[in-house]
Amino acid sequence: MNIEVSRRGLLRVAGAGAAGTALGALGFGAAEAATAAHVRAFKLARTTETRNTCPYCSVACGIILYSKGDLRKGETAEITHIEGDADHPTNRGTLCPKGAALKNFVHSDTRLLYPRIRKPGSKEFERVSWDDALNRIARLMKDDRDKQFVAKNAAGLAVNRWTSVGFLAASATTNETAWLTWKVVRSTGILAFDNQARV
Ligand code: SF4
């Protein structure tokens, strides 16, 4: 962005800054904070609060998503604000810069919202339903496991390995979800198991 400020304009801006600092020194900073706190309530009024977990890293900070639009009336819910969850034991309301920018992630034009498939020989990805995607993944996994599962090694010891498939889970979950995911994946014999936080 190119902004041209004349010498007179620059002095005016500097003067305003100095006046602002002086007002702050006189206690108007607190008044400003009080006004912001007052206005904030209106910003969030009539929004729905939904607790969630930041999806970026294994710290798994608690967040609150504020959305407008009543799904029960057939309206589309739109997320208008996201902030740290002050009641969450991990982050107690704080967020790192990535977490603080989550709203942009949610509304990003390049965000993938639906499962898509690129069929053999095709250059294009096609949108498919969640049912179709999950059925296809389950089918392919079952067929591969039936062929590749190794129950015993050359010495006859039970190893129960399935090494031809890997599983990438999400680190941004609760302990309970992570525990269940671990149990399910390991029970299939999959060894290559990771998540985006590499933990
Ligand atoms: S807010 Fe930052 S530290 Fe917390 S889970 Fe998200 S990325 Fe990790």
Mutate which of 98, 106, 196 for ligand 1? The one with the most ligand atoms within 8 Å of its CB, which is 98
pLDDT score for 1: 45
Q: Where are the domains of the chain?
A: 10-44, 46-111, 112-144, 149-199
CA-proximal residue: ligand 1, atom 8 (nearest):
57
pLDDT at 22: 47
Can you give the length of the chain in residues? 199
CATH 3.90.1150.10 fits 46-111, yes or no: no
Question: Up-side HSE of residue 128: CA atoms within 13 Å toward CB?
Answer: 16
Please tell me the distance between residue 122's alpha carbon and the centre of ligand 1 in angstroms: 37
Q: Which atom of ligand 1 is nearest to the CA of 60?
A: 5
- CA atoms of 16 and 2, how far apart (whole Å): 21
Q: Which of 88, 90, 92, 96 maximizes ligand 1 atoms within 8 Å of its Cβ, making it the mutation to test the pocket? A: 96
**Shortest-distance Cα residue to atom 4 of ligand 1:** 61
Q: What are phi and psi of 145, to 5 degrees?
A: -65, -40
CA 139 – CA 162 distance, rounded (Å):
16
Q: What is the reported pLDDT for 18?
A: 46
105 alpha carbon – ligand 1 mean position (Å): 13
Cβ partners under 8 Å of residue 49, min gap 6: 64, 65, 66
The pLDDT profile of the chain, 199 residues, written as one tens digit per residue, is 445 555 545 445 444 444 444 445 555 578 888 887 777 777 787 889 999 989 888 788 999 999 998 878 888 889 999 999 999 999 999 999 999 999 999 999 999 999 999 999 999 999 999 999 999 999 999 999 999 999 999 999 999 999 999 999 887 777 888 899 999 999 999 999 988 776 5
pTM to 2 decimals? 0.62
